[in-house]
Amino acid sequence: FCWDRLSRPLQVVERRGKQSLEILDWSGLPLVEAERLWAERVDAERSQGFDLRELPLQRLVVVQWRDGVHRFCWSRHHILLDGWCSARLLAEFLQTYKAACDGQPLLAAVPPSFRNYVAWLEERGDPEDALEFFSRELAGFEEPTPLGGQTLPAAGATVTGRVDLSRQQTEDLLEVAKREEVTPGTLLQGAWALVLSRLGASRDVVFGVTVSGRPATLEGADEMIGLFINTLPLR
């Protein structure tokens, strides 16, 4: 991905790709030692990151755990593809692998090219229309929502949190969503809006919502491999 001294970022697809595949054999190690090495390797993969200007932007590690059992670590930058197509890509790989093991030709349809989505984006309406829409929807909102008297972290900072729900709580939430005829995601967004409102002592809050970004008007969008997700502001 190139962006230095360019008016627009550019994704470059090399004719000959560069892969990073490492195959390890830990089948002779004690299980405790293998588990320790695996945890260290996964942490190292997370912390290593990627340079978007250098290939490859994904790394594959296959470890033979014991006879007939392997572990697989697939590290990639999210800019390559979203979670929607991760499952499709893995299914396609397993289908190819089975055909090779069985000595059979691969009978699989080639998914539509991501190029079609890029072309669809280029044919969208005037960007000024989108700018006018969001300027109107976000008019009057000037500052980040404070959390307990403190503003949100700077751009690029990472803050994580987790709430574990019991089976009963999950069932109750699903029942409320069904009764109100909304998705569970919409219900959780409403809850998050209330949390932000109380922490920031404001009835006017804005937060980001991730959307799949696969347009129903683009033929084959559900089958394409690539990055479609986008984060839109929800006020």
What is the C-alpha separation between 169 and 163, in angstroms, rounded?
Answer: 12
Q: How confident is the model at residue 153 (pLDDT cuts 50, 70, 90)?
A: low
pLDDT reported for residue 149: 56
Please check the confidence at residue 154 and state whether its pLDDT lies above 80. no
* Residue 218 in tokens: 């683009």
Look up the pTM and report it. 0.73
211-226 confidence digits (pLDDT tens): 989 999 999 999 999 9
Q: Around Cβ 63, how many Cβ atoms within 10 Å?
A: 19
Give the integer Cα–Cα distance in Å for 231 and 16.
32
Give pLDDT tens digits for 37-63: 999 999 999 999 899 988 899 999 999
User: What does the pLDDT read at residue 106?
Assistant: 87
Poorest-pLDDT segment among 106-110, 132-136, 142-146, 156-160: 156-160
